[in-house]
Amino acid sequence: MTRKIYILNGPNLNLLGKREPEIYGHDTLADVEAACAAVGREANLDVTLLQSNHEGALIDWIHEARENAAGIIINPAAFTHTSVAILDALKTFDGPVLEVHISNVHQRESFRHHSYVSLRADGVIAGFGVEGYALAMRRMSSLLT
């Protein structure tokens, strides 16, 4: 049986590849989706990658994942550091939740050191560049088997 994984991305990540490439690299979100889909094909996991600049849209997708997805990989971007609402939504989801940050947030400004989402996440990857998403897919596969 192929299970679905939601890969959710927060604000400004639509500009991945163009935005501060010295921090986030040159790969785009489409490249991330292709890398995750390749891992998914090996692991029988079907990837749905979504991005929004709006907090409510991310929350709606988390609610949708309750019915549709076996696991959530989320890079909440700046909402990581501000959103109790995204944390609360993730708490309604029963499956594994993995948090990804492209940059090493702990090496950056102190306001990036705290994550609300980490209170729910089963694992966190930070500072592995966009490769972090594919690594999270591998971890998702082992958590689901």
By CB under 6 A, name the binding residues for ligand DQA: 12, 75, 77-78, 80, 101-103, 105, 112
Minimum Å gap between C-beta 105 and ligand DQA is: 5
Burial of 37 (0-12, 13-18, 19+ CB in 10 A): middle
Nearer CB in complex with ligand DQA: 12/118: 12
From the CB of 80, what's the least distance to ligand DQA, in Å?
Answer: 6
Strand partners, 7: 49, 73
Q: How far is the CB of 49 from ligand DQA (least distance, A)?
A: 14
Residue numbers annotated as active site? 24, 101
For residue 51, give the nearest of 71, 18, 77 by alpha carbon: 77
Nearest residue to 86 via CA among 119, 60, 59, 51: 59
Indicate the residue among 3 and 53 with the shorter CB distance to ligand DQA: 53
Closest CB to ligand DQA among residues 56, 127: 127
CA–chain centroid gap for 53, Å, is: 14
